[in-house]
Amino acid sequence: MIAPLSIDELKVKTKLIRRDIVAMTNAAASGHPGGSLSATELLTALYFKVMNHKPEQPKWPDRDRLILSKGHASPLLYSVMARSGYFDPGLLPTFRVLESPLQGHPDMRRLPGVEASTGSLGQGLSIGAGHALARRLDGKNYYTYVVMSDGEMNEGQTWEAAAMAAHHKLDHLVAVLDYNKFQLDDSTANICNMEPMTDKWKAFGWDVQEIDGHDMAQVVAALEKARNVKGKPAIVIAHTVKGKGVSFMEHNNNFHGVAPTKDELERALKELV
């Protein structure tokens, strides 16, 4: 079982994980650094503080589940998995290498500890709702967390799953929205503005919290509060910055799916100390 870290220890851990993200994408000369960096606090808090899981037993029946619906942020997922003990961090440089289990999008068939093969945006919440319903039917007590992008708020399937989960009063289901305000081609506001986001989720019958997704104390407090919600699903809407932690990547959508060059990697690593 993972020993929970303090807030200060979690903050230190995010620096290491961000270094992994920029190094992995540079080595592969591909990947999605921007949306991985924006969600770093969210997954760090989940894996090293909030979730009950046993990296040495990835199929432990009572484990909490994490579904990375925004599967393109796989560098972040692989880093937190490696750093929490699911596999040797020495494998991280094989990201996107042919035959490596660290594929561009998570593949549950190739890497123990990955709960769902994701990447087709909008499907993760449906998968999570299925896990939450199975938990109830099996009489278990685990929680299912679904980390989503704001771009997939444009997907109809997301809202079908939101309606289904509320209708069936699926508590022990926590969605976490990485609200960095960008998607592949432009800002979310320009492509399909989904505001007022908070009011939409409330209207669908969810318990809603809105936080600064880079304030670790807020992140942990919100995730722990969400575990106590009964009779309905919960969502944490985390306002984040795309490319957070690397000055020239912040708010820069050019790094949505473009890896840093060698010179950019060196600049990034100097900032992440």
Helix, coil or strand: residue 93:
helix
This prediction has a pTM of 0.98
Q: With respect to residue 146, please indicate whether it lies within any of the assigned structural domains.
A: yes
Q: Which of 47, 51, 24, 4 is nearest to 172 (CA)?
A: 51
Q: Is the pLDDT of residue 2 over 90?
A: no
Q: With respect to residue 1, please indicate whether it lies within any of the assigned structural domains.
A: no
What is the rounded distance in angstroms from the CA atom of residue 37 to the CA atom of residue 17?
Answer: 9
196: preceding bond cis by omega (within 30 degrees): yes
State what percent of residues in the chain have pLDDT above 90.
Answer: 99
Tens-digit pLDDT profile for residues 252-272:
999 999 999 999 999 999 999
Q: Where residue 65 sits, what CATH number does that domain have? A: 3.40.50.970
Domain span including residue 247: 7-271
Over the chain, what is the mean pLDDT?
A: 98
Q: Which of 191, 214, 189, 250 is nearest to 33 (CA)?
A: 250
**Burial degree of 260 (CB within 10 A; 0-12, 13-18, 19+):** buried
Q: With respect to residue 2, please indicate whether it lies within any of the assigned structural domains.
A: no
What domain count does the chain have?
A: 1
Tens-digit pLDDT profile for residues 188-238:
999 999 999 999 999 999 999 999 999 999 999 999 999 999 999 999 999
pLDDT for the residue numbered 211: 98
pLDDT for the residue numbered 191: 97
The mean per-residue pLDDT over the stretch 8-27 comes to: 98
Tens-digit pLDDT profile for residues 80-123:
999 999 999 999 999 999 999 999 999 999 999 999 999 999 99
How many DSSP H helices and E strands does the chain contain? 10, 5
What is the rounded distance in angstroms from the CA atom of residue 5 to the CA atom of residue 86?
Answer: 17
Q: Is the pLDDT of residue 72 over 90?
A: yes
